[in-house]
Structure 1
Amino acid sequence: MSGMEIASYLMAVVYVISFLAMSAILAKEAGRPIWLFGKGKEKQALSALLFRLAFAGAVLWPLWLAAFGNPVRNDPLTAALDGPWFDVFGHLLVVVGACVALLSQRHMGTSWRIGAAEGEQGAIVDSGPFAISRNPVFVGLTTVLLSLVQAALTLALLIAILLQVAIEERMLAASLGQPYLAYKARVRRWLGVTGRPSRSPSVSAEPG
């Protein structure tokens, strides 16, 4: 790995450690478990597994590449991101993505959850990064891992996010009703606002 690739890898490791530490801190502040993948009516086993693979891949895959090389021939993601300028750009993506994800996670405070379950959502959060994205943690996480992992693991992350967001949106709509639907109509899933004002308070769609 080049010097910039090593810096990007170390930043990703710092992010993963910070994500886990922040989750523990927020769970303590909330005074309740925040791991909800095994709860609720919705089946979340697949998305939970894919998230684990993506996080593990972010830590272990670059080490494998450094030690043994890429076992996947003609990996499109690796080929597309090869070169010094892409290394610099990739590092910037990792830094920006990590900051966005961690700041958004911290902004959720005691509403932070990993997974979704009926009756387990936290207090309403629609300010800060959640005013322009219903899922800023996922946006930041995708930005971090996109420039680090092999194409298959990146695809696993994207599938996990899409599955989990759909589950969370159904659960929040059923549990919170109109306040969440108003927020959903006003703020886009990934980035931006629709411009349609809402008279109701709103809630983050992202338990984690």
Structure 2
Amino acid sequence: MTGMEMASYLMVVVYVISFLAMSAILAREAGRPVWLFDRGGGAQAVPALLFRVAFAGAVLWPLWLAVAGNPMPGDPLTRRLDGPWLDVLGHLLVVVGACLAILAQRFMGTSWRIGAAEGEQGALVDGGPFAISRNPVFVGQALVFIGLFLVLPGLVQGLLTLILLVAIRLQVGIEERVLAISLGAPYRAYMDRVPRWIGRPRRGA
């Protein structure tokens, strides 16, 4: 690995550790478990599995590349996308994405949950990063994976990024339905006002 690749990989590892540690801290502050994938019904089994695969791969695959090298030396994505400028852009996305995701996770406080289940959601959080995105944690995670792909372009890293994006899209659809039921009119008004991913809030909504 080059220095930039190693720095990006270490940032991903730091983010994953921070995500787990922050989840434990927020669970202790809330006085209840925050893991709801197992309580939210079978529909969340697929995104839950995809998230596990994506994050495990993001930690283990770059390590494999560093130790054993790429088992696909003719990888077309590596040949076409490997370069110093994309490394810089990718590293920037990893850093920005990790910071956004952790900031948004901490901003949720005792409303933080992993997964969704009716009657188990915390209070509506609509300030800070949630004023410009209904899903800033997921936006940050997507930036982390896209950035890591630019730094370490290849078919496997591209597949891991795609898996993460599919998991996010599936889970967001589930969570929005659960939140609309659990939180009612205030959340539906929030959906009308704030974009799903990122952008300026809509006035008068």
TM-score relative to the length of structure 1: 0.90
Alignment: residue pair count = 197
Map of 1:74 onto structure 2: 75
State the AA in 1 paired with 2:176: E
Distance 1:121 1:80, change over 3 A: farther
CA RMSD of aligned residues (A): 1.5
Q: How far off is 1:21 after superposition? A: 0.3
Structure 1 portions without partners, runs of 5+: 199-208
Cα separation, partners in 2 of 1:80 and 1:124, compared to 1, 3 Å: farther
Contact 1:81 1:87 in 2 (8 A): no
Q: Deviations along 1:135-177, whole A, 9 cap, x unmatched?
A: 0000111111122251111110011000000000111112222
- Superposed counterparts of 1:1-208, under 5 Å: 1-41=1-41, 43-72=43-72, 73-76=74-77, 78-79=78-79, 81-149=81-149, 150-198=157-205
Counterpart of 2:119 in 1: which secondary structure?
Answer: coil
Report which stretch shifted further, 115-124 or 62-71.
62-71
1:120 partner SS? coil
Distance 1:11 1:31, change over 3 A: same
Amino acid at match of 1:27: A
More helix, by proportion: 2
In 1, Cα distance between equivalents of 2:66 and 2:59: 12
Query: 2:132–2:201: 8 Å Cα contact kept in structure 1?
Result: no
Distance 1:80 1:164, change over 3 A: farther
Q: Distance in 2 between matches of 1:86 and 1:80?
A: 11
Please, which moves more after superposition, 36-45 or 6-15?
A: 36-45
CA contact (8 A) 1:104 1:129 kept: yes
Unaligned 5+ segments in structure 2 are 150-156
Contact 1:104 1:136 in 2 (8 A): yes
- Percent identical: 72
TM-score normalized with structure 2 length: 0.91
